[in-house]
Amino acid sequence: MQKIAVIGTGYVGLVSGTCFAEIGNRIICCDIDETKIASLRRGIVPIYEPGLKELIDKNTAAGRLLFTSDVGAAIEASDIVYIAVGTPMSETGEADMKYVKDVARKIGEHLNGYKIIVNKSTVPVGTGELVRQIVSNHRKYPSVHFDVVSNPEFLREGSAISDCMNMDRAVIGSSSDKASKAIADLHAPFGTRIYLTDLESAEMIKYAANAFLATKISFINAIANICERVGADVVQVSEGMGLDSRIGGKFLQAGIGYGGSCFPKDTFALAHIADQSGYDFELLKAVIRTNDKQRLIVTDKLKQAIGTIEGKRIAVLGLAFKPHTDDMRYAPSLTIVPEIVQLGASVSAFDPIATETAKPLLPESVRYCGTVEEALEGCDACVILTEWPEIVGMDLTRAKRLMNATVLIDGRNCISPLSVQQHGFTYHSVGRRP
């Protein structure tokens, strides 16, 4: 049993803190946001993540998971301190390190004995060293030692709990063998493969992994756009490519591009890190541009399918950046819905979870519906932006009866083309053969 403080109760901190508690450690999750901590203490979880609330309830009841806004006390009561605060994108594209620096100062001030300081936030290469300096400069007792470790997070929203319990690998970077071993031991109950490295390489692995996955997505999206022009089917192309074990089939699903809090932020940050190091990462910049442009294909397809958009009624199914989350950060819907509204159409939107998150971010005129059917009623075209199960499994016979015109733009290639055709829809996908 380890005594661990996890600073930052955002997505990463909350999920990993809870999973570490689940395997028997005593975890204090802390945050300077007192309202958030008060809610968590009452069992109110600020994010939607399948299974998280149940696991939090179970571990708080068992006394293994505690919440506090007294960050200093949590640090003093722990042997391992995880930094899991946000590194939002600044205006220039680089990661904003303010919160990480604040936490490092706080750790220094409350370093009352040897501690292992672990960075889980996605941070530029060199941050581990920066944390070491800040902690060192703010140490109340200069004779007290500490080690710094980088242990980046690879969880996906929507499947974070199972990802955490069944990680492909835990990357642990440090110059201290003692600290690396302690963090490797912490992961032992998960049965995770451990990859030990130096601090800087661990920090780079996180950015490189996300940038590579983003590259796969932009690559297949570009191939999809070409498939449409030359008469090939991107689903078959992607499957055929993925069968080559050197390529692998994952992250080759064509669509309207990646969103979320990670890929957009981390690709920008890595391009910026590269620029600063004197290397022009042209490949990654093209990945970002390709992704930005990919969102625009929806309105192009809509125009192609129904002619003028002005005065039409469009059903938008799915608003979140991907299914099983209410996260709207960099969601393609944030570009596509305002564009449709700007072109003069009225939008009826449905998302099973993200409606409340979406409301302040989308045009006021958008009408939010409680079901797929309600959104489809009387619409001239239906646009799928997120492949939620209730959208993928919609009743096409009923949909046809409800809609004004049977036009379906499938931005996620999630509906069977054969089935839509059998139901008499005009189907537009991203690079699938009609």
Contact between 170 and 233 under an 8 Å Cβ cutoff? The reply is: no
Site stretch for ligand UGA (CB under 6 A), options 58-66, 256-264, 347-355, 390-398 = 256-264
Cβ proximity to ligand UGA: between 270 and 402 the closer is 270
Q: Is 260 in the site for ligand UGA (CB under 6 A)?
A: yes
Output DSSP code: residue 188: G
| Least distance from ligand UGA to the Cβ atom of residue 253, Å | 3
Q: How far apart are CA 237 and CA 235, in angstroms?
A: 5
The CA dihedral of 248, 251, 256, 260, to the nearest 10 degrees, is -170
Nearest to 173 by CA among 145, 154, 195, 155: 195
Nearest to 27 by CA among 77, 99, 100: 77
Q: Is 204 in the site for ligand UGA (CB under 6 A)?
A: no
Contacts (Cβ under 8 Å, ≥6 apart) of 85? 7, 8, 10, 13, 99, 100, 102, 103, 121
Q: Is 259 in the site for ligand UGA (CB under 6 A)?
A: yes
Cβ proximity to ligand UGA: between 5 and 205 the closer is 205
DSSP labels for 224-291? Answer: HHHHHHHT--HHHHHHHHHTSTTT-STT---SS---SSSHHHHHHHHHHHHHHHT---HHHHHHHHHH
| Least distance from ligand UGA to the Cβ atom of residue 351, Å | 14
Identify the H or E element spanning 221. helix 199-230
Q: Is 94 in the site for ligand UGA (CB under 6 A)?
A: no
CB-count exposure of residue 191 (10 Å: 0-12, 13-18, 19+): exposed
Q: How far apart are CA 247 and CA 240, in angstroms?
A: 10
For residue 57, what are its two tokens?
Answer: 């309830």
132, 154, 225, 374: which one binds ligand UGA (CB under 6 A): 154
Cβ proximity to ligand UGA: between 66 and 85 the closer is 85
| Least distance from ligand UGA to the Cβ atom of residue 252, Å | 6
255, 318, 417, 431: which one binds ligand UGA (CB under 6 A): 255
Q: Is 349 in the site for ligand UGA (CB under 6 A)?
A: no
Cβ proximity to ligand UGA: between 216 and 312 the closer is 216
Residues annotated catalytic, as ranges: 262
| Least distance from ligand UGA to the Cβ atom of residue 8, Å | 13
Q: Is 322 in the site for ligand UGA (CB under 6 A)?
A: yes
Cβ proximity to ligand UGA: between 313 and 322 the closer is 322
Q: Is 271 in the site for ligand UGA (CB under 6 A)?
A: no
Count the neighbouring beta carbons within 10 Å of the beta carbon of residue 224. 25
Q: Is 380 in the site for ligand UGA (CB under 6 A)?
A: no
Size of the site for ligand UGA (CB under 6 A): 20
Cβ proximity to ligand UGA: between 87 and 348 the closer is 87
Residues that bind ligand UGA (CB under 6 A): 122, 153-157, 210, 213, 217, 251-253, 255, 258-260, 262-263, 321-322
